[in-house]
Amino acid sequence: MQSFPPSNIRNVALVGHSGAGKTTLAEALLFSAKAIPRLGRVEDGTATCDFDPEEVKRTMSLSTALAAFETGGYRINMLDTPGYADFSAEVTAALSVADLAVVVVSAVDGVEVRTEAVWEMAADLGVARMVFVSKLDRERASFTRTLDELRDRFGSGIAPLELPIGEEGAFSGVADLLSDTAVTYKGAIATTGPIPDDLAANEHAVREALVEGIVVGDDTLMERYLDGDVPSYPELEAALAGGVASGSVFPVVCGSATKEIAIDRLAALICEIGPTPDAKTVTVAAGGDDHEVACDPTGPPLARVFKTIADPYVGRISLLRVISGTIRPDATLVNSRTHEEERLHTLETLRGKEALAVPEAKAGDIVAVPKLASAATGDTLAPKGTPVTLPPLPFGQTSLSIAVTPRSKADEDKLMTGLHRLQDEDPTLVVTRNDETHQTVLSGTGETHLAVVAERLQRKYGVEVATEELRVAYRETITATAEAEGKHKKQSGGHGQFGVASIRIEPLDRGAGYEFVDKIVGGAIPRQFIPAVDKGIAETMTSGGLLGYPVVDVRVTCFDGKYHPVDSSEVSFKMAGSLAFKAALEQAKPVLLEPIARIEVTAPASSQGDVLGDLNARRGRVLGTETTNAGDQVVVALVPEAEIQRYAVDLRSLTAGRGTFRLEHDHYDVVPAPIAAKVTKESARPS
């Protein structure tokens, strides 16, 4: 494929609720532009953009797919994004490099939860938006109802450019409000004619409102319009493009991807009114200051990695947006994070899983580069000697964690290798090893996300895993002061082992940790052996108290002891300290501690009561509530971590998918007696 200047590139993200028809629309756009020989189907796994086995199995997009095509002298870099909430990070990455978001809304289902979410994401990232109302040929489809919902949710900037001709099965074309003509379809063949009589009155009223809405942003056009001079089609289109780029106008068009109605018009409109990559500058950090970089093909080469694909055969494939300059094969840039040189051996564009070589990539373009050495999602690639960094991509935090173990012992080494390679592909996947609970923890954005990770781990790297709930990292502490003596004596011929340590233990404030106090006088324990007593106690506390959990928040005072001039050693006093601590712990009224998290839940006001009731049922303590500028409620509470391990799933159900939360560990607190008894009983069970 040839290269294009920024003015002839359109970077477009298809976003919307799961099932709205984004992938089917992408397929129709490719077919309309003759980029593919036939229309594929999501249902049978032949769609260009949904080609992973996990996507075919679920008939839904799980990751962003790049599908570039050319039409009318333009290149459209189309990014087909997932609609399911678990994969919102894919949408964030796509929007970070897109200049236009086409929000796909089903005329059957209307504005849904994820429609609102992606709209807000695009607004936060400053991305222009337009709406494509899909599935107008389906039963129960209603353009009027959907348009009302769009206006209700997103305001007066919603501007319909088309009205459907016919309803449901009789849908056959669109009335073009800008040109005041009707376009009807038989197959992919379009015929232009006058507006049908039964639609004329409504079309005239809507067109008049549209024209008024467009000219109001241009003083010259507004003055002419008030004088009775209606601007021409090109003038209206130019003014509309300005409104789209500024984020004040959100055009609404409609069609049917399966019947190929108005798909060609959508592609043409993207080219005609879609923002160009060189319309904005990009802020970069360099030398401690922020600088603006223009989208200039003659400038220094600069690119960002916005997505990584881990292919078990090809290796790592990095998707880049070229911010500045022109990049050619075998160019060498420096990774601003690792400071390592990266040689871009090959430049390609992707059409689903098909790779097409490109001779060069100019500023504003999106390309794929295989086998970069160390580049990860979010990295900046800059010229040598030019240490600039782009702002980080705004990925959300993980919300659900599970523990994984390989089903086969032979796969233990392969497990971590496979997980780390999947992490390269998915920045929202976090892999950790919890040394307290001895579990490998996989953290992600939801149940479906983690299930897909497990499936990809098996398919790509041959590792089958078993999953289990996370164990809670309980701890133990004491509530009283106690004294005890630890004596270690062993005689086995030759030098023996002898050490005696007397200690006092007392509770410290929560979170204080461990404190060792040396009160030995008169040489009861030689100075060189006192650190061994400390070490023996510290290791015993870490290995677990009466219930097997680490002991914390204890001061230990060693005040007396005995030694033997021949048989005493560091090992002897280490054992003595351990024995003394164990004996004292039994007398010090030990209690169980549990981790407490601070949680901030954001949910619609209508769900606040349900959220508060649910948090109370989880032994939560609400600290306060506040209202956001958008009218949502933020609830701040302290909740035991044992009660919220699956909160991501439950909150989604409570709030119809509209709730979000942020979570962080806050402190440890005493477990109530009935629950402590239950934990103690479960801890005593053989594993």
DSSP string, 252-266: EEE-BTTTTBSHHHH
CATH topology classification for 282-389: Elongation Factor Tu (Ef-tu); domain 3 (2.40.30)
The matching CATH number, chosen from 3.20.20.70, 3.30.230.10, 2.60.120.10, 3.40.30.110, for 475-588 is 3.30.230.10
Residue 289 has pLDDT above 90, yes or no: no
pLDDT reading at 632 higher than 70: yes
Alpha-carbon dihedral angle through residues 114, 349, 292, 339, given to the nearest 10 degrees: 110
For the domain made up of 592-683, the CATH class stated in words is alpha beta
How large is the average pLDDT for residues 610-627? 95
The whole-number average pLDDT for the span 69-95 is 95
pLDDT at 218 over 90: no
Strand partners, 557: 504, 517
List, by residue range, all CATH 3.30.70.870 domains of the chain. 400-468
Question: pTM of the prediction?
Answer: 0.88
Instruction: Give residue-wise pLDDT tens across range 16-38.
Output: 999 999 999 999 999 999 999 99
pLDDT band at 482 (very low <50, low <70, confident <90, very high): very high
Q: Render pLDDT for 168-204 as a digit per residue (tens, 0 to 9).
A: 999 999 999 999 999 999 977 899 999 999 999 999 9
pLDDT at 188: 76
CATH number for the region 400-468 comes to: 3.30.70.870
CB-CB contact of 86 with 447 (8 Å): yes
The backbone torsions φ and ψ at residue 477, rounded to the nearest 5 degrees and listed phi first, read -145, 180
State in Å, rounded, how far the first CA of the chain is from the last one.
60
Please report the pLDDT score of residue 687 as a whole number. Answer: 44
For residues 458-470, give the mean pLDDT: 90
Contacts of residue 603, defined as CB under 8 A and 6 or more positions apart, other chains included, come to: 611, 632, 633, 635, 651, 654, 655, 658, 659, 660
What stretch(es) of the chain map to CATH 3.30.230.10?
475-588
Of 318-332, 393-407, 550-564, minimum mean pLDDT range: 393-407
Q: What are the C-alpha distances in Å from 207 to residues 204, 211, 645?
A: 5, 6, 53
| Rounded average pLDDT over 341-352 | 94
Q: What is the pLDDT of residue 409?
A: 84
As a whole number of angstroms, the longest Cα–Cα distance in the chain is 116
Band of residue 486 on the pLDDT scale cut at 50, 70, 90: very high
**Quick check: 476 pLDDT over 90?**
yes
Confidence at residue 547, expressed as pLDDT on a 0 to 100 scale: 85
For residue 686, what pLDDT band results from cuts at 50, 70 and 90? very low
Q: What does R_g of the chain's alpha carbons equal in angstroms? A: 32
Residue 629: Cβ within 10 Å count: 5
The region that residue 126 occupies, defined by phi over 0 for left and psi between -120 and 50 for alpha, beta otherwise, is left
Neighbours of 436 (CB within 10 A): 14
- Residues of the chain within CATH 3.30.70.240 domain(s) are 592-683
Q: DSSP labels for 657-674?
A: T--EEEEEEEEEEEPPHH
Report which of 128, 121, 177, 181 is spatially closest to residue 157, judged by C-alpha positions. 128
Mean of the pLDDT values across residues 79-83? 97
Instruction: Identify which of 278, 292, 321 has the alpha carbon closest to the alpha carbon of residue 388.
Output: 292
| Cβ within 8 Å of residue 501, ≥6 positions away | 485, 486, 525, 533, 558, 560, 561, 573, 576, 577, 580
DSSP per-residue letters across 309-370: EEETTTEEEEEEEEEESEE-TTEEEEETTT--EEEE---EEEETTEEEE-S-EETT-EEEEE
Residue 56 parent element (H or E)? helix 53-58
Tokens of 22: 């984004």
Residue % of the chain over a pLDDT of 70: 99
> CATH 2.40.30.10 occupies which residues in the chain?
282-389
Mean pLDDT (the chain, rounded): 92
Least confident piece of the model among 138-147, 216-225, 273-282: 216-225
Asked if 182 and 170 count as a contact pair (C-beta separation under 8 A), the reply is no
8 A C-beta contact, residue 295 and residue 364: yes
Evaluate if residue 528 carries a pLDDT over 70: yes
- CA torsion, ordered 86, 89, 92, 96, to nearest 10 deg: -160
**Residue 240 clears pLDDT 60, i.e. is over it:** yes
Give me the CATH topology for the region 6-279.
Rossmann fold (3.40.50)
Other beta carbons within 10 Å of 211: 19
Mean pLDDT of 605-611: 94
Helix (H, G, I), strand (E, B) or coil at 96: helix
Q: How confident is the model at residue 304 (pLDDT cuts 50, 70, 90)?
A: very high
